[in-house]
Amino acid sequence: MVCNNMNHIISNQAESPLVAQASFARSLGRSPVTLWRWQKLGWLDASVNIAGKPYLTRAAIDRFARRAGAGEFAKAPHAPRRVKGAIQS
């Protein structure tokens, strides 16, 4: 009986409209601080605060994934600047 209840709870969490910011960060291999920075840059929508714990909506995650997949956050590569008079080996 307990096993059936746990499976039900897990399946409900997978369909939940809110995802804990820490678990989303973990799934990306990033820290919650990185997600905070992305929110400040406008890359990720603001989180919902419930009892002091930040959550992200599924819509915000989907929007972020769509934008990241399109390469919107990619930076153009650049070579380091050469310094005049510097000796190169």
pLDDT, tens digit (0-9, with 9 covering 90-100), for 9-60: 334 345 678 999 999 999 989 999 999 999 999 999 988 999 999 999 999 9
Would you kindly state where each structural domain of the chain is located, as residue ranges? Answer: 12-67
pLDDT score for 22: 92
Q: Is the pLDDT of residue 4 over 90?
A: no
Q: Which fold has domain 12-67?
A: Arc Repressor Mutant, subunit A (1.10.10)
Q: Is the pLDDT of residue 1 over 50?
A: no
Q: What is d(CA 77, CA 24) in angstroms, rounded to the nearest whole number?
A: 28
Contacts of 8 (CB under 8 A, 6+ apart): none
pLDDT score for 33: 94
